[in-house]
Amino acid sequence: DAGITQSPRHKVTETGTPVTLRCHQTENHRYMYWYRQDPGHGLRLIHYSYGVKDTDKGEVSDGYSVSRSKTEDFLLTLESATSSQTSVYFCAISEGYRGNEQFFGPGTRLTVL
């Protein structure tokens, strides 16, 4: 199994509070991704990173920001959480781009009240 951890695994927060989710990998893979999973939508890409300090937006990036200061860590921040951001968040990594399989972390269940 790819060495990917996510923290926290579960979080309950209130509307308007900032939230940061962390993804940590031990595989030294260049690419890292954040997805959210919602019923009826599968997984949707929020942001991805193609190297340290190099990030780009995905399909559903509004309300989210990311940072990657080290190869192994990719942070997802909700500056001011809303109830629509209640979801399960998955981090993924891949060795290369365009066609490389992505390996997923265990997920973080976030509830915004």
Residue of the chain from 76, 102, 110, 112 that contacts another protein (CB under 8 A): 102
φ, ψ at 84 (rounded to 5°) = -70, -10
Residue of the chain from 41, 52, 80, 84 that contacts another protein (CB under 8 A): 41
The reply to whether 45 sits near another protein by the rule CB under 8 A is yes
Are 24 and 72 within 8 A, CB to CB?
yes
The reply to whether 74 sits near another protein by the rule CB under 8 A is no
C-alpha to C-alpha distance for 99 and 13, rounded to whole angstroms: 36
C-alpha to C-alpha distance for 31 and 77, rounded to whole angstroms: 18
How long is the chain? 113
Which residues ranging from 50 to 69 are in contact with another protein (CB under 8 A)?
A: 50, 56, 58-59
Residue of the chain from 21, 31, 64, 68 that contacts another protein (CB under 8 A): 31
CB hemisphere CA count around 80 (13 angstroms) = 1
Which residues ranging from 3 to 22 are in contact with another protein (CB under 8 A)?
A: none
Binding site for another protein (CB under 8 A): 31, 33, 40-45, 48, 50, 56, 58-59, 88, 90, 92, 97-99, 101-104, 106-107
